[in-house]
Structure 1
């Protein structure tokens, strides 16, 4: 009934209460929490202070749910709260792997803002998640933004060489390599990567 009335704060409270008493299946608990947070973020989509309040009132176990972190991070990014979005993505990825959060991570920077600490964080995640090429892609994207051309190139080429890289991940790596070569006035190499990206997209 509370869900139908859109009283999403109450849905969260009741879900936690029932969960503590073992009255709800864990899968249903996660579903309710994810839905309630998603709806609350939609309701407060232009109010970053309200979004922060929602986030701070969530128990730590809720905050670590990757779907919850993703919805909240997108909401914060939309209101310009890049640093807070970055921090909550880091908190979630430190706990468990999530491809969508990793994909969002390089978007949490203002133009010209230093990201050296976060590049070190990505290096750490490469050790934590050695079978996930998307970490290398995120590292390459961030190094590209920071104009660290050499490290960006190595990371993006690593994505292309990794047999575990999915087609979409490879296509993204080709696109960023094309842009990198453009920035270095290497038109021939840029054209090659644009062509390779297009051929990957054609197979999707």
Structure 2
């Protein structure tokens, strides 16, 4: 079929040539005009179509001569490109196989070819880094700057981050020649901003990261949460803290982890009422043991109101170890050590663990009972080691039975159920 098409093409060209020659030989072609070329004492006269045809034939002859003259050079260039690609492939295979020195040598040779020079230099740099030859790796990186500024910026930033120098990484990525940054560049810049304590700037890049699909959805969501929490920690005044809190997604603002960071920073900025209110509203809607512990430990003087809220929560969460421990700490803060002791025994009975034993030891120490304080601290140590705590001598059998008792829980229909059951 291919030969048949070639034959048809040759016949068509021959037919066009014959008809063209017949037409050029007719006198009607002279009606289009004549071209006279004078060379010395000779005049050459031709019709315009004949002159155009002569020019086309001359150009074709020049092209044919140039093709024949340049053919050896083009063949040599193709041979060099083929050899360069072969060295690149062999170098990458050696790099993957752990033959660092051989890989670097072959990749340096492959870098002589312009088309594959950037990728060859990057791979050679990787081989030098694998051999812990930082000088050679730096040399390859500097050579990369002249041929591909974007790759140079990416790998420079990566090396600065490995050396824990985020500001230098940001400077490397912000060079004008590397703009606009590819997705990996945006990810590296977000990392550098995070490590440099500029979480708000990094948070502003999340939209671009999401649009360019630079990260898997789960990793991007984790990064968003991490940057949002760090952004709250970096707020320098209450106005900045409030503004940053408002820009967070609603799903994040209702999470106990974010509320805890927001409240802690608010207290650090002497915004106590907002801190307490945010925790109270969150605990009213969703219960969280860690948030209850933070509520009792905040350095805020409003012990009466906090204890009243905790007592209210105790009606719906009577078995919460964190809530019982929080009530004990609030009572201890008011100097009511006997009530604090009762809450701590209940917390220990509900599994509050070593932290409750330590708090109980502090309560006994505050009452100048060093012997019982020592027993409690010893029990805290034993529980941290996974050993069974020893009973303290002060509690009689009736009190110990009360400590072990669990408040009765009922379902929505008023029927008793086992603690922790959801049916």
In 1, Cα distance between equivalents of 2:223 and 2:380 = 38
In structure 2, the residue matched to 1:21 is: none
Q: Residue 193 in 1 paired to residue 373 in 2?
A: yes
> 1:49-107: CA deviations, max 9, x gaps?
31122223435432211111122222223333333222222222222232322221123
Structure 2 length-normalised TM: 0.38
> Which ranges in structure 2 are unaligned for 5 or more consecutive residues?
1-185, 194-200, 385-423
Matched pairs, number: 185
Structure 2 CA distance for aligned equivalents of residues 54 and 152 of structure 1: 38
> What residue in structure 1 maps to residue 243 of structure 2?
53
Between the aligned partners of 1:114 and 1:30, the Cα distance in structure 2 is 36
What's the counterpart of residue 31 of structure 1?
A: 222
Equivalent residue number for residue 10 of structure 1: 204
Moved more, 48-57 or 135-144: 48-57
CA contact (8 A) 1:33 1:62 kept: no
Q: Does 1:156 align with 2:344?
A: yes
Task: Tell whether the 8 Å contact from 1:136 to 1:158 is kept in structure 2 after alignment.
Answer: yes
In structure 1, what is the equivalent of residue 277 of structure 2? 87
SS of equivalent to 2:351: coil
1:108-127 residue CA offsets vs partner (Å, 9 max, x unmatched): 344xx343222121112223
Q: Distance in 2 between matches of 1:77 and 1:194?
A: 33
- Deviation of 1:139 (Å): 0.7
The equivalent residue for 1:96 is 286
The answer for the alignment partner of 1:107 in structure 2 is: 297
Tell me, in whole angstroms, the C-alpha distance in 1 between the residues paired with 2:254 and 2:327.
22
How far, CA to CA, are the matches of 1:43 and 1:115 in structure 2?
Answer: 28
Deviations along 1:12-70, whole A, 9 cap, x unmatched?
6x49x99xxxxx96x667534421212212432x3333112222343543221111112
**Cα contact 2:266–2:274 (8 A) shared by 1:** yes
Residue in 1 aligned with 2:329? 141
Contact kept? 2:266, 2:272, Cα under 8 Å: yes
CA distance in 1, matches of 2:377, 2:233: 34
Q: Tell me which moved more, 138-147 or 54-63.
A: 54-63
1:126 to 298, 303, 314: 314
What's the secondary structure of 1:200's corresponding residue? Answer: helix
Change (3 A) 1:127 1:60: farther
User: Would the aligned equivalents of 1:85 and 1:108 in 2 still touch at CA under 8 Å?
Assistant: no
SS at match of 2:191: coil
After TM superposition, give the deviation of residue 202 of structure 1 in Å: 4.3
Cα deviation for residue 136 of structure 1 reads 0.6
Deviations 1:150-181 (A, max 9, x none): 43232222223x2x314223323313422442
